[in-house]
Every structure is written in C-alpha cells, then in structure tokens.
C-alpha cells in the first residue's frame, strides 16, 4: 500500500493588518457533505477559488479516496496515504467497503493531521510573512452514509471540533428537491446528520442557476405554503396510486409528509439556509456570512457541550488510571509501609558508588521504602499515565485496523 506524508502547500500571502486577529482567532473548519450528484465538488471548487480571490487561501483536505480527478489542489489528501484500489483488492471489498476501510486506515493518522492543522493555524516566528490559515475546507465522499455513519467519520469530526469551530455544509441538489416528497427526504437526512454529528449546520441549496431555491426557503419558513404545494402534488398524483386521497398510497404519503413537516418545524429554526450557484458564484458571500454566524453559534452553544463530554471522558480515564494504580500498589504491597516487598533488594546508589549486596546481619527495616519514596514512585507513575495521547487513544479502533493490514 502506497504511503507518504501529507503535503502542505503553504500558500504564501503578504503580511496584513489582520494577522494579529488571525493569531488570536482559530480557523473555522467547513465540512462539505452532500449526496452524489448534488454538486458538492463544484461547490468546494467555487468556495476555494472565492477565498483565493480574497487573498485568504484556505487549507484544503480531501477525504474521498475514490475520486479520480479533483478540480482543486488539496493540502492534505487521503489518496497520499491510502491506495483505495489496493484496499479493495487486499480486503476483497466493494466500492463502499473500500471507501469505509480507507477512511478507517486514514483515521490512524488523525493525530498527525491535527498536528499539521494546529501548526498552520498559528503564526510561524521563523517566517512572519506566512499568514496563518483562517478557513479549513474538508471534502467528503459522495457516498454520504459511509462518512456520516462510520466510526472514522465521527473520530475525524470530533478531532476537528476539539480544536477548531466546525460547521457542516449540507449540499442539496435544488432541481431534484422541487417536489414535496424529495424535499422532505432531503430535510429528514439533514436532520439525522445534524443530530448525529451535533455540530451547527448550513443547508446549501446548490444549482440556483437551474432552479431558484426561493421555494425551498418559503417551505421551511411558511407552513401554509408547504401545505399548498403538498395539496398540489397530491392532486397531480405525484405520489402515485391513483387520483386524490382515495387513490392507493397517495393519501398515506401526503399524510406522512404533512406530519413530518410539522415535526421538522423546530429543526428548521436551528438552520441557516443559503441558495448558491456553484457554476456562476452567486450566493457565496451569503454562505460565508452564514459560516461566521455558525462559528459564533458553535462557541456559544456547541463548545460547552463538547467540553462537558470531553471532561466526562477524562473523568472516566482518570478513574481507570486510579483503579490501575491502586491495583499496582496493592500487588507491590505498597499499602503497608513496614513491608517493602520486592523493593527490599533495591538501594539508592550515588554516582560512582558500587552497589553493595545485603549482608545477612543487616536489619531489613533499614532498606524499607519510606513514605517519600513511595509518594515519588506514585507521582512518577501517575505522570506517565497522564502523558498518554488521548487523541491516539480515541482512535484505537482505527489503529487496530491499521495493524491488521501489516
């Protein structure tokens, strides 16, 4: 399997007055998620070009191992680390299984990825002209469920969100969502992603040049407008099964969609809605305005929850360390200060002094470990346990997969 280090393009930019602000303000990670054919890759190309035009080049990550041609350059590309075709051959997998396994293997490098991103997010004292990044763009596989519902996708997103404000951009194919049934299907999928990932989301209605997305915005903000469209689809037999409510599955479908629209009303209130044309670039300004809004929302609403969950995980790890330490001390008889156990044969030796064996007439109590020595040993052990890389520990499943390929 081919493997190489991630490539850091390090695009240069002239010094600006905002460099101090960028140093204090962490970059925003924009994770683009969308169904196959929604125009996600074209959208990524458009926002990448937009930021370059603004003299604010982003840091780009490609997490799609199966893409054969990318219209934009990636600073970190999963294809540099994992050979998708060889993964399929080696593990005898189909396309979706190959993508998922490739993501799992790439997740073993998540600590390296985060190290690179954090380094690029801070000013370089040796090269002051190198501007810290302010945006991180992440392209994901078109097989949306492979990323959203896999352990590797969760690990990658949680790693990003632990260091940077992270926003999900859910790309919707506007022309294909013009009927109430397909629109509702898209919204339900967006809802499931939002509550699975627990990150702020922007719904991007793409291909606005082919179909004006104003109808979708109206449906999401005006319940009566959606009801009128639903009735029109039902009268036009859009759901099949005959004419009107008495025609087979038509009445069932309209009732189901109506119920779901009521349920999603609260969901809509937490979304930002933007219509864009990736082909012509319209709506991109509104998209980045929504990104800034969601980044602030991340800090206020999502960051405390992430910190709480992280504190809970650390507390669990701390209790596990304390339990292991107590067991070790018990095994070493450290609980009884008069019983030195296996340490009875160990003596502190100064530099240059030869260790002397115990004589038969020496008092064993002279060589017992005192309280200071015991506390020092315990402190050193706890320090060693606390130095364990938590990010690496969280990716234990992916590391297991990585070792299995060898």
What pLDDT does 69 receive? Answer: 87
Asked if residue 365 has pLDDT above 80, the reply is: no
Asked if residue 29 has pLDDT above 90, the reply is: yes
Asked if residue 45 has pLDDT above 60, the reply is: yes
Strands 76-77 and 166-173: unpaired
Q: Using 50, 70 and 90 to split pLDDT, how confident is the model at 406?
A: low
Structure tokens at 197: 């990932």
* Sign of the C-alpha dihedral computed for residues 295, 297, 303 and 306 taken in this order: negative
Interior CA angle at 46 toward 44 and 51, to 5°? Answer: 95
How many helices (H) and strands (E) the chain has is answered by: 17, 7
pLDDT digits (tens, 9 = 90+) for 74-133: 999 999 999 999 999 999 999 999 999 999 999 999 999 999 999 999 988 888 888 899
Q: Using 50, 70 and 90 to split pLDDT, how confident is the model at 261?
A: confident
Residue with structure tokens 């506007």? 174
Asked if residue 363 has pLDDT above 60, the reply is: no
Asked if residue 31 has pLDDT above 60, the reply is: yes
Mean pLDDT of the region 282-292: 96
Mean pLDDT of the region 303-313: 77
DSSP string spanning 270-335? T-EEEE--TTT-TTHHHHHHHHHHHHHHIIIIIHHHHHHHHHHHHHHHHHHHHHHHHHHHHHTTTT
Asked if residue 390 has pLDDT above 70, the reply is: no
What pLDDT does 387 receive? Answer: 55
Q: Please report the beta strands in 130-220, taking only residues with DSSP state E, as ranges in sequence order.
A: 135-139, 166-173, 201-206
- Spacing of C-alpha 84 from chain mean position: 21
What pLDDT does 253 receive? Answer: 81
Greater model confidence, 63 or 332? 63
């Amino acid at each position: 399997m081919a493997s190489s280090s991630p490539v850091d393009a390090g695009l240069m930019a002239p010094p600006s007055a905002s460099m101090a602000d960028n140093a204090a303000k962490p970059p925003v990670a924009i994770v683009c998620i969308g169904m196959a054919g929604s125009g996600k890759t074209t959208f990524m190309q458009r926002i990448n070009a937009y930021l370059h035009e603004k003299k604010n080049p982003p840091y780009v990550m490609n997490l799609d191992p199966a893409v054969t041609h990318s219209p934009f350059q990636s600073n970190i590309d999963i294809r540099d680390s994992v050979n998708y075709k060889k993964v399929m051959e080696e593990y005898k997998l189909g396309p979706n299984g190959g993508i998922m396994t490739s993501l799992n293997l790439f997740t073993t490098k998540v600590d390296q990825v985060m190290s690179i991103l954090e380094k690029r997010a801070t000013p370089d004292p040796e090269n002051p002209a190198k501007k810290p990044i302010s945006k991180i763009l992440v392209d994901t596989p078109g097989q949306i469920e492979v990323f959203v519902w896999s352990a590797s996708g969760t690990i990658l997103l949680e790693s990003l969100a632990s260091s940077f404000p992270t926003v999900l951009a859910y790309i919707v194919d506007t022309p294909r969502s013009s009927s109430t049934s397909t629109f509702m299907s898209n919204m339900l999928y967006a809802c499931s992603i939002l509550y699975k990932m627990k990150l702020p989301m922007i719904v991007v209605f793409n291909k606005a040049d082919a179909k004006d997305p104003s109808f979708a915005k109206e449906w999401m903000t005006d319940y009566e407008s959606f009801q009128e469209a639903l009735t029109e689809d039902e009268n036009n037999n859009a759901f099949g099964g005959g004419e009107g409510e008495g025609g087979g599955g038509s009445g069932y479908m309209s009732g189901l969609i109506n119920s779901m629209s009521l349920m999603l009303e609260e969901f809509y209130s937490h979304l930002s809605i933007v219509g864009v044309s990736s082909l012509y670039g319209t709506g991109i300004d509104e998209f980045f305005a929504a990104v800034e809004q969601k980044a602030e929302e991340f800090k206020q609403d999502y960051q405390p929850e992430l910190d709480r969950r992280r504190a809970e995980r650390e507390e669990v790890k701390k209790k596990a360390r304390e339990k292991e330490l107590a067991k070790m001390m018990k095994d070493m008889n450290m609980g009884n200060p008069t019983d030195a156990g296996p340490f009875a044969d160990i003596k502190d030796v100064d530099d240059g002094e030869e260790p002397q064996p115990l004589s038969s007439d020496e008092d064993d109590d002279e060589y017992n470990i005192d309280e200071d020595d015991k506390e020092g040993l315990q402190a050193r052990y706890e320090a060693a346990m606390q130095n364990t890389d938590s990010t690496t520990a969280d990716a234990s499943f992916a590391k297991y997969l990585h070792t299995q390929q060898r």
